[in-house]
Structure 1
């Protein structure tokens, strides 16, 4: 701690009850072998009992590190086998996810809501970004026609917005930032068929 007029040395703060103020507490995640695997994170601010409570804020970076489950792409036909120039129907589940984390010693509940979906169909076309999660046939709203036969790998990237509540009470507060997840690639196989007129089929 630095104080104007003090040239050097350690300065300690004494609390109203005569005890020494606590230093901030930090922690660092470890991997399975016990080696450090991430940055230091502050658990609390230390200080004295009479200090006013510190506001708990879930940052955009902390939100992005939460283990959100990627949205799963669903296809029709369900096996991903389609025809050239025929619409492949795609959709996903637009449900919220609820997670918990701890910030400065407080339990924080987080609601993540999907707000946009980017479909990369793996065929070199521009990815399709939409706020629509899509629907299955016959109410389908998101489709893509492949123009050439081949095997492709489709992925879905979802953008999430968040809100959080501290210790299960008080208002839900917005996270000032977003998080993204990307699905495991979904294989699709597109086949070209030719029609032939025949007599007396």
Structure 2
């Protein structure tokens, strides 16, 4: 009985060690996201499916396919587009290490283990995975890894500080108004960058998530969602106490949305920070003259 208790204790310690390991959680066989999606098929399982399907390997052979996490149809349904918000968030809300989108994996028997061909095999849904590019026969599938790379490759517009008073001159002890502005070069918030990836038309639409204002005198404001504005209603204001020339800028954190082949817009689960262009603001002192 003591020996049994000893082995049970060892097994419990081992199980807790595996559960606590980030690597164990990274590709777990049954992770569940807060939205209820249960990721049941790992990258290793998909590689094993592919290896078992190779010519010369003994055993039954299968045809594999997938359908979208958001689709209600089977592999032969026309509704197979994997790009929906739920398919993306199902893989980003939990640590599966898979790029997504989440897809249901299906297979049907095409050949018995003895080599007999099967022509009337039924589709069997195996489970959900975040590795659509590893589903046998689906090499080259578009994944979130491609989308995120395209997002980071977007030539974002570099912001600069629009300032009032104008002409990069202001006065000490006078509230100076700042706003985020963008040049015509690059893609600014709301504009759409279009590219082609693996034959798919991918559109990236940047969104400004937050701004950080650098006033050049050692003070900053942000991150804030406020893009600033002109006198008299702009909320981003700063008053300089000394005359000098100050390097000022505004940095922007971009998030964004994407869509594939004209489908629905989906939030991108990532951000990019773009440092703004520096301007030299001259702070002067008002001089009163008597005539």
For the superposition of Structure 1 and Structure 2, which TM-score range results when normalised by the shorter chain?
Answer: 0.5 to 0.7
Q: Secondary structure at the match of 1:63?
A: helix
Q: Which residue is 2:226 aligned to?
A: 132
Find the aligned partners of 1:53 and 1:104 in 2 and give their Cα distance: 7
Counterpart of 1:159 (choices 239, 250, 253) is 253
Find the aligned partners of 1:187 and 1:162 in 2 and give their Cα distance: 30
Q: Structure 1 175/95 Cα, relative in aligned 2: closer, same or farther at 3 Å?
A: closer
Shift of the alpha carbon at 1:60?
Answer: 3.8
Q: Which residue is 1:91 aligned to?
A: 179
Q: Structure 1 111/195 Cα, relative in aligned 2: closer, same or farther at 3 Å?
A: same
Q: Which residue is 2:271 aligned to?
A: 178
Q: Structure 1 131/51 Cα, relative in aligned 2: closer, same or farther at 3 Å?
A: closer
State the TM-score, normalized to the length of structure 2.
Answer: 0.47
Q: Which residue is 1:65 aligned to?
A: 153
Q: Which residue is 1:54 aligned to?
A: 141
Matches within 5 A, 1:21-40: none
Question: Does 2:170 correspond to 1:82?
Answer: yes
Find the aligned partners of 2:158 and 2:191 in 1 and give their Cα distance: 10
Structure 1 unaligned residues grouped into runs of 5+: 7-15, 17-44
Q: Which residue is 1:11 aligned to?
A: none
Shift of the alpha carbon at 1:56?
Answer: 3.6
Find the aligned partners of 1:60 and 1:95 in 2 and give their Cα distance: 17
Shift of the alpha carbon at 1:164?
Answer: 0.3
Looking at both structures, which has the greater relative contact order when contacts are Cα pairs under 8 Å and sequence separation is at least 6? 1
Which structure carries more strand by proportion? 1
Calculate the aligned-residue CA RMSD, in Å.
3.2
Shift of the alpha carbon at 1:192?
Answer: 2.3
Q: How many residues align?
A: 158
Please say which of residues 91-100 and 175-184 is displaced more in the overlay: 91-100
Q: Secondary structure at the match of 2:264?
A: strand
Which structure carries more helix by proportion? 2
Q: Structure 1 126/46 Cα, relative in aligned 2: closer, same or farther at 3 Å?
A: closer
Query: For the Cα contact (< 8 Å) 1:113–1:161, is it kept in 2?
Result: yes
State the TM-score, normalized to the length of structure 1.
Answer: 0.66
Structure 2 unaligned residues grouped into runs of 5+: 1-46, 55-62, 64-132, 182-187
Find the aligned partners of 1:85 and 1:167 in 2 and give their Cα distance: 54
Find the aligned partners of 2:228 and 2:204 in 1 and give their Cα distance: 25
Q: Structure 1 142/193 Cα, relative in aligned 2: closer, same or farther at 3 Å?
A: same
Query: For the Cα contact (< 8 Å) 2:189–2:205, is it kept in 1?
Result: no
Deviations 1:120-163 (A, max 9, x none): 11111234432111121222221111121101111111011111
